[in-house]
Amino acid sequence: MATPAPGKEDSSTKQTPPIPNAVIDRSSGEQQDGKQWGYDLYPERRGEKYKPSWGRVLLGMEGTENLDKIKCERNVYKCVKNSPMVKLMMGALKSSGCAIDIRRHIACEVCDVSVSGGYDPVLNQVVVCQNIARNEGIVQGVLTHEMIHMFDYCRNDLDFKNIDHLACTEIRA
């Protein structure tokens, strides 16, 4: 292949200019703008549906996403009914004017293996990673931790892009 002359670029050698405040999407390797930071860990948040690989399905390592979702939702329900910490956080949110409807504000989804849950301030939802948080104890920890972020966002106008706010809410959680 010929090298293009200086000042003349071949279209195959052009690279996309860097996006300011960009992050690299782990799933695709592409640059994403800073507004969507972290969403690569939650593919279903971006409208993608999880697709297990056939090899892992045949080995029994994947392919149980629907069953995992039902188990996750059952664990969420048990925690909401029985966990003192989750009940405390739900009461605190309600008394602050930020009541939770578990069908609307808590979602079980397939996530990247590096996270067990998260809080989505855009949709005001706690995400429980059904492929990672597989027992009631882990779900309780995820719900409690993420509800603290939900409380801070609702009550204290938390800005997740402000490093001081982020440090404060993580210390509290």
Instruction: List, by residue number, the catalytic residues.
Output: 146
CA-closest candidate to residue 127, choices 157, 135, 145: 145
Q: How far apart are CA 123 and CA 135, in angstroms?
A: 25
Give the count of alpha carbons within 13 A of 32, CB side only. 16
Q: Which amino acid is at 42?
A: Y
Q: How far apart are CA 52 and CA 17, in angstroms?
A: 33
Strands 31-32 and 117-120, by their bridges, are unpaired
Q: Which residues of 76-103 are buried (b: 16+ CB within 10 A; e: fewer)?
A: beebbeebeebeebbebbeeeebebeee
